[in-house]
Amino acid sequence: MNEALLRSLTPSVLGILVRRGADFAAAEDAVQDALVEAVRVWPEERPRDPKGWLVTVAWRRFLDATRAEAARRRREDLVDEEPAPGPVPAADDTLQLYFLCGHPSLTPSSAVALTLRAVGGLTTRQIARAYLVPEATMAQRISRAKRTVSGVPFDQPGDVATVLRVLYLVFNEGYSGDVDLAAEAIRLTRQLAAAIDHPEVAGLLALMLLHHARRATRTAPDGSLVPLAEQDRGRWDTGAITEGVGILQAALARDRLGEFQAQAAIAALHADAPTAEETDWVQIVEWYDELVGLTDSPVVRLNRAVAVGEADGPRAGLAELAALSDTLPRHTAVAAYLHERDGDLPTAARLYAEAAHKAPTLAERDHLTRRAARLNAGLRRR
């Protein structure tokens, strides 16, 4: 069973049903029914035209569902309007589906779930497993999202920035269960890049590839976190790095800088350094300056403080950090690192322990706890 083929066909089949007059929610249900039928039938009898087969089955499922509703007149009109058998139109509605699933009226979690199902072709069960929630909970989330966007015109212009943020949320979920969401986000972003010529789409794809290239080295065999400076760079995926850098260079050449391109440029500088010591921190600070100008994000300023600490020394980094709110996520962890770099080990150990209590994940908490324990052990030996 070629699941990749099914997923790639899902958005275009859904788009065809919506353009024929089906409302989005009913069309999406019908397409899911057709995908289930394909999984059952195709292994024994693969159709010559997979897309046409899916369109036919999905449309019939939609009509069956429509006949069960009270609006008989509209139901009969739809039956009368059923197109004659023939070639499926070549129009690609993928981009409009992205806009619909990333509609501003949806919460981020709902937009992510709807995108994975309607555009990604994942089942509700797969999405639920990936997010570690009950299937019924995810089904309710998707149903609410579909109801929210059902009245939105399919050809309404969408917001590319919103779609990109949804895809970035998917990527940052990483991997859990039987669905690799990072790989799925890369696949969907490639699909979006094929549908729209936009430098920020390219920037996001480059950023994902450059980050994903380091994935195998981010954790030790025991599951503990491995900081960037300690990762085995010989195990980084050079193919993904080369592709990501090439995509980024082409996007930057268009001189329409956006935040994802700037983030990708920072990731490319890390990927380009043969060792941690050879990292071009001065240029990284310059890119963070661009990113601050684009976003004015406190989190970006926090990351910039780390880069300044590497480029100009830890005290310069601490001076930048002092201008930021200590309520920022990971502020305490950054302070601990910069104090350790500056040789103030008692303060660093105390801050690492404090940061561990605030850590958002178990892996990060364990990492910070170990850093504190290592420094305290060294202080006791003095």
pLDDT confidence of residue 91: 47
Identify the CA nearest to 170 among candidates 161, 180, 178: 180
Distance (Å, whole) CA 101 – CA 118: 8
| CB-based contacts of 282-287 (< 8 A; 24+ apart in sequence) | 282/311, 284/310, 284/311, 285/311, 287/262
Spell 36-54 as b/e; 16+ CB within 10 A means b.
ebbeeebeeeeeeebbbbb
The answer for residues whose C-beta is within 8 angstroms of residue 118's C-beta and 6 or more apart is 10, 11, 14, 28, 31, 97, 100, 101
pLDDT (tens digit per residue) in 350-359? 999 999 999 9
CA–CA distance, 6 with 97 (Å, rounded to integer)? 16
Please give the single-letter amino acid code of residue 67. Answer: R
pLDDT at 158: 74
- The SS3 of residue 32 is helix
Sequence-separated (6 or more) residues with CB below 8 Å from residue 90: none
Instruction: Give one word for 296, left, alpha or beta, with left for phi > 0 and alpha for psi -120 to 50.
Output: left
Q: Could you tell me the two tokens for 364?
A: 């990060």
CA–CA separation, 27 vs 29, rounded Å?
A: 5
- Which of 224, 215, 106, 120 is CA-nearest to residue 170? 120
The per-residue pLDDT for 92 is: 53
Amino acid 177: pLDDT: 52
Nearest Cα residue to 248 out of 280, 232, 270: 270
Confirm whether pTM is higher than 0.85. no
Helix axis angle for 135-149 and 24-41, nearest 10°, is: 130
Which pLDDT belongs to residue 175?
Answer: 57
pLDDT at position 87, please? 56
pLDDT at 75: 46
Q: Residue 17: what are its φ and ψ, rounded to 5°?
A: -65, -40
| Separation between Cα atoms, residue 29 and residue 33, nearest integer Å | 6
pLDDT value for 108: 86
The answer to whether the beta carbons of residues 110 and 141 sit under 8 Å apart is yes
Q: What is the pLDDT along the chain (382 residues), one digit of tens a residue?
A: 688 888 889 999 999 999 888 889 999 999 999 999 999 999 888 899 999 999 999 999 999 888 776 455 554 555 555 655 555 444 456 778 888 888 888 888 888 889 888 888 888 888 888 777 899 999 999 999 998 988 787 776 678 888 898 899 888 876 555 678 888 889 889 988 988 899 999 999 999 999 999 999 999 998 899 999 999 999 999 999 999 999 999 999 999 999 999 999 999 999 999 999 999 999 999 999 999 999 999 999 999 999 999 999 999 999 999 999 999 999 999 999 999 999 999 999 999 999 999 998 888 999 999 999 999 998 888 7
